[in-house]
């Protein structure tokens, strides 16, 4: 069954008093195009994350987001007595030098000064902490793949409907094919009858008519188009990454339909060709979104 390139996956986990959120969205693209937004703590894992996405999704324009929710957010950062003491000493010294009174409300002044909190040590991601985060990313990718599969099933139904419609129109071509040949022959014979004072070799004329009608023969085009239709339907049920292959088959179908149109010489056939083109265009639009 084919897969769509459109999808969405989301997963969450809790690790070391942090809630990790992972969201992945994908749209159609000729190759893999990954855009990541990762919480600073896990930025060092960017390459590994991209590798996981590429391995699982193959193709598509992918937006990946990983952010943290600190479950200890209510806790405040500790103040730095050394930094605050340094500020107080400097203010008193400057006040003495300039002959001005030091502030009476010290805390209102100190609260506006920078870097008064104690510096925190940079967190490093251990293998034990990364393991559940990695599993959460894989879970989000699995859910996105499930989404792609559901979308692919819907697209496959539309494809089969369009292929069936083109097949029916191709059957109708048979009803008009002999009529088309008879009409062409009749037009040529009528034109000759209207010629006056002209003699011609009947045998040579017959040969030329046969040659002309053979050039307008569409049996090969009908057969090739029927083969392409069958191959397209067969490809739908074999493998997942078939988007490019289906696109190539659709191109070949278009060539045969165009040739049928150029050789039709009959209004009823031209109408059928227009309907086949309309169905094929809808296939081509959808096939761009197939993995």
Judged against a pLDDT cut of 90, whether residue 231 lies above it is answered with: yes
Which pLDDT value is given to residue 212?
62
pLDDT > 80? residue 215: no
Q: Rounded to an integer, what distance in angstroms lies between the CA atom of residue 220 and that of residue 232? A: 18
Task: Identify whether the C-beta of residue 225 lies closer than 8 Å to the C-beta of residue 253.
Answer: yes
**Is pLDDT at 32 greater than 70 in this prediction?**
yes
Residue 263's pLDDT band, with cuts at 50, 70 and 90, is confident
What is the average pLDDT across 101-121?
78
Query: What pLDDT does 113 receive?
Result: 81
3-state secondary structure of 65: strand
Spell out the domain ranges in the chain. 7-74+126-149, 81-110, 152-287
- The average pLDDT across 82-92 equals 87
The whole-number average pLDDT for the span 143-164 is 93
Q: At residue 76, does pLDDT exceed 80?
A: no
Per-residue confidence band for 105, with pLDDT thresholds at 50, 70 and 90: confident
- Distance between start and end Cα atoms, the chain: 11
Q: Fold for domain 7-74+126-149?
A: Ribosomal Protein S5; domain 2 (3.30.230)
Strand partners, 20: 13, 68
Q: In this predicted structure, what is the pLDDT of residue 16? A: 77
């Amino acid at each position: 069954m084919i897969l769509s390139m459109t999808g969405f996956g989301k997963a969450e986990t809790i690790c070391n008093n942090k809630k990790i959120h992972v969201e992945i969205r994908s749209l159609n693209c000729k190759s893999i195009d990954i855009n990541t937004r990762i919480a600073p703590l896990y930025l060092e894992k960017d390459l590994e994350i991209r590798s996981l996405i590429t391995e699982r999704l193959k193709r598509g324009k992918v937006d990946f987001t990983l952010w943290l929710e600190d479950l200890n957010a209510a806790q405040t950062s500790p103040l730095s007595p050394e930094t605050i003491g340094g500020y107080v000493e400097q203010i008193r010294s400057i006040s003495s030098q300039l002959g001005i009174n030091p502030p009476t409300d010290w805390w209102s002044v100190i609260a506006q000064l920078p870097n008064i909190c104690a510096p925190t040590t940079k967190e490093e991601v251990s293998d034990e902490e990364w393991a559940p985060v990695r599993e959460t990313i894989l879970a989000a990718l699995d859910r996105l793949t499930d989404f792609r599969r559901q979308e692919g099933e819907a697209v496959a139904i539309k494809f089969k409907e369009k292929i069936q419609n083109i097949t029916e129109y191709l059957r109708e071509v048979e009803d008009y094919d002999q009529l088309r040949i008879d009409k062409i022959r009749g037009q040529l014979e009528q034109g000759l009858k209207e010629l006056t004072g002209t003699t011609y070799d009947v045998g040579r004329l017959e040969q030329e008519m046969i040659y002309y009608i053979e050039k307008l023969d569409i049996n090969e085009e009908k057969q090739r188009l029927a083969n392409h239709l069958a191959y397209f339907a067969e490809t739908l049920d074999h493998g997942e990454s078939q988007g490019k292959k289906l696109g190539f088959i659709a191109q070949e179908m278009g060539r045969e339909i165009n040739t049928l149109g150029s050789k039709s010489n009959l209004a009823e056939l031209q109408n059928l060709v227009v309907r086949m083109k309309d169905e094929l265009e809808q296939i081509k639009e959808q096939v761009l979104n197939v993995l």
